[in-house]
Amino acid sequence: MSFALDALIVLTGWTHVLLAPYTKVEESFNLHAVHDSLLHGVVNLDNYDHFTFPGVVPRTFIGSVLLAWISNPVIQAATSVGLVTDKFDLQIIVRLVLSTLNAFGLCFLRRAVSRRFGRPTSLLFTIITTTQFHIPFWMGRTLPNMFAMLPVNVASALLLSRHPSSTKPSPRSIYTAIILLTSTAVVFRAEIALLLAPLVLQALVLRYISFVQVVKVGMVSGLASIALTTAVDSYFWRTLVWPEFAGIYFNVVEGKSSEWGTSPPLTYFISSLPKLLLTAFPLSILGFFMDSRIREALTPHIAFVALISLLAHKEWRFIIYVVPVFNIAAARAGRWMLSQRKSTFLGRLLFLVFWSMILVNTGATIMGTITSMANYPGGEALMRFTESYSSSKGVPVHISSPLHVHISNLAAQTGASLFLQVHAPPFASRSTFCPHPSPGSPANCFTPVYDKTENMTLEELTGSHEVTHLISEWSPLEMNSRMRVWRLLSGDGDSFDDTQGADAQSNVNGAGVITAYAGLQVNRDALNALKGLRFGEAGKLLSEKGLVWMRKKPVLWIYGRR
């Protein structure tokens, strides 16, 4: 049973990676750092992407380099059995490895729950976690928060893993947790310090550890971590830098984070936590009040959310670390609900309520996953462009002129990563443009240029005859008279749609038109038919479209120069 539960956690994360393989701009720094570490090595820094697109503040390379090193033997094994054909396959493998690492952290925590609260609570913790959306969907994504998630979960497990009747964790476990959280705060995410502080304060108040020893452990681990990140990141950035300190100074001291938006003080409690936890939110409240062990585990995490709420700029990912512990509280409440005698009305009611809540979780997660799959138009556009120049067997079509594709800001932010530039060097394997390089290779066997130059106007792109293709946010109607220069991609290499203006705009099913999620729509016709008791008509309408369906709208267009 234990192995099956661990496998369920791992497979849930893998499923989300495979269903939504593309990434977004907030993941791009670490993803591209992994790309460069894998394919350029850690010596040849001149071609690294962060010198071209450095971002607002420097970020650490430690997580990316470690992920690249861990992924490398997996990539070698996958290549040996023919599972790697281009760089996009590497992106999927890297994300699967990261998802697996975070799954191991959750499995370690699950085993601690089993020891502290019993196997049934451990089972329910697994069910609740795997039927939620955010952690399974995001734990394979290269956000800095997901690099921090693993050590935070291990620290939580160390503090929790003890006999049910034990009154306190071992000092060794506490000090190890402090080392992990201190290092994570210094290297990956500074907000972890706001979680470390209430955990240490609680341990001191309860006299689990001594103040002097805490200072020693904290100082040694903190200074060692500062030395590590400064040495590693100064090398990669080619200047003396401690990335997380630079981030704190920029966002907190200078107050620049507010430029990205501000939220009311209670946003995390009344909005973010309910969205992250779904039906586990009310269950965690019940678990908090019914078990003193849950109160001890959950109080520092509640304090963390309260402390980070003092910052004006708020994002759900800043508090994602508390979700597993809240899920433990929810699982404890679920165990109580399911343990009531089924011969009583209350027992049957609680049984029905709990599993209904799990069904709601599952339904919300399925809906969230389906809509998210349609929310990466940049990745879809670049992949469609690439596929249009390769036959079904991976052999390139004949190309009459060098390719130079300009990738718009929206495309770059919604999935057009370096891993999808499969025909740009360095190559993970032989490019399908030149599948069999030899002295007799055709003259049209070359590498296209992928151009992400920002803020170029349509006039500049049209006037630059080097640019042969556009992945653009401009619709055919917005292109207007310039459709005499550009044509929409139709799907067969240099084959383009000659329709212009409104005709091209309406062709939402064409290969050159990329759609994205535009909201959900309720089948009001079926609901109105039900109100009028026309069950046959309502059933027909529901069978055609269902009760709720996803709306899409064109957001990107692929053009080729005539």
pLDDT digits (tens, 9 = 90+) for 31-74: 999 999 999 998 889 889 998 888 888 999 999 999 999 999 99
Mean pLDDT to the nearest integer, 407-421? 93
**Scanning the structure block, which residue is given the tokens 């033997």?**
73
| Residue 38 DSSP class | H
For residue 503, what pLDDT is reported? Answer: 52
The pLDDT, as a whole number, for residue 318 is 96
439 residue type, one letter:
P
Average per-residue pLDDT for the chain = 87
Query: Residue 430 above 50 pLDDT?
Result: no
Among 152-161, 213-222, 389-398, the least confident range: 389-398
Is residue 388 predicted with pLDDT exceeding 60?
yes
Helix axes 144-160, 62-80, angle to 10 degrees: 100
- Is the pLDDT confidence value at 504 over 60? no
Cβ pair 21, 95 in contact under 8 A:
yes
pLDDT computed for residue 524 by the predictor: 67
- What pLDDT is stored for residue 261 in this prediction? 84
**524-558 pLDDT per residue, tens:** 666 666 666 566 666 666 666 666 778 889 999 99
User: What would you measure as the largest C-alpha separation in the chain, in angstroms?
Assistant: 83
Tokens of 205: 């108040």
Residue 190's pLDDT band (cuts 50, 70, 90)? very high
What size, in residues, is the chain?
562
Q: Do residues 137 and 22 make contact, with C-beta atoms less than 8 angstroms apart?
A: no
Amino acid at 504: A
Q: Using pLDDT thresholds of 50, 70 and 90, give the confidence band for residue 172.
A: very high
Q: Is pLDDT above 50 for 395? A: no
pLDDT over threshold 60, residue 2: yes
pLDDT tens digits along 278-331? 999 999 999 999 999 999 999 999 999 999 999 999 999 999 999 999 999 999
Q: Which residue do the tokens 């293709």 mark?
A: 469
The candidate with the shortest Cα–Cα distance to 378, out of 50, 24, 88, 27, is: 24
pLDDT band per the 50, 70, 90 thresholds, residue 390: low
pLDDT above 80 (res 442) = no
**Confidence band (pLDDT; 50, 70, 90) for 394?**
very low
What is the model's pLDDT at position 35?
Answer: 95
DSSP label of 396: B
Name the nearest CA neighbour of 205 among 303, 118, 278: 303
Q: Are 165 and 172 in contact (CB under 8 A)?
A: no
Lowest-pLDDT choice from 79-88, 140-149, 360-369: 79-88
Pick from 134-148, 184-198, 487-501: least confident: 487-501
Q: Return the ∠ at Cα 155 (arms to 150 and 194), rounded to 5°.
A: 90
Q: For residues 398 and 526, which has the higher predicted lDDT (pLDDT)?
A: 526
Across the range 465-477, mean pLDDT stands at 89
Residue 431 has pLDDT above 70, yes or no: no
Check if the beta carbon of residue 360 is closer than 8 Å to that of residue 127: no
Indicate the SS3 state at residue 391.
coil
Phi, psi of 560 (to 5 degrees): -125, 145
Q: How far is CA 538 from CA 328, 535, 541, 550, in A?
A: 42, 5, 5, 19
- Residue 233 pLDDT > 60, yes or no? yes
Kindly report which listed range (193-202, 224-233, 317-326, 443-452) carries the lowest average pLDDT score. 443-452
The answer to whether the CB of 126 falls within 8 A of the CB of 110 is: yes
State the Cα–Cα distance between residues 248 and 499, nearest whole angstrom. 52
Per the model's pLDDT, the better-predicted residue between 387 and 204 turns out to be 204
First to last CA, the chain: 62
CA 537, CA 417: separation in Å to the nearest integer?
Answer: 47
Nearest partner of 354 among 83, 127, 529, 172, judged by Cα: 127
Angle at 179 between CA 174 and CA 182, to 5 degrees: 120
Q: Bridge-partner residues for 469, per DSSP?
A: 405, 560
CA dihedral over 483, 484, 488, 489, signed as positive or negative: negative
Asked if pLDDT for residue 378 goes beyond 90, the answer is yes
User: What does the radius of gyration of the chain's CA atoms come to, in whole angstroms?
Assistant: 26
What lies within 8 Å, CB to CB, of 298 at 6+ separation is 284, 287, 288, 325, 326, 328, 329
Residue 448, both tokens? 């296209």
User: Percent of the chain, pLDDT > 90?
Assistant: 64
With 60 as the cut, is the pLDDT of residue 481 above it?
yes
Q: Give the pLDDT confidence score for residue 130 in this predicted structure.
A: 97
pLDDT at position 539 is 66
Per-residue confidence (pLDDT) for residue 346, from 0 to 100 = 93
pLDDT mean over 233-260 = 88
Whether the per-residue pLDDT at 444 is higher than 50: the answer is no
Burial of 181 (0-12, 13-18, 19+ CB in 10 A): buried
pLDDT grade for 77, boundaries at 50, 70 and 90:
very high
CA distance 353 to 115: 26
Q: Which of 415, 358, 416, 368 has its CA nearest to residue 135?
A: 368
- Quick check: 443 pLDDT over 80? no
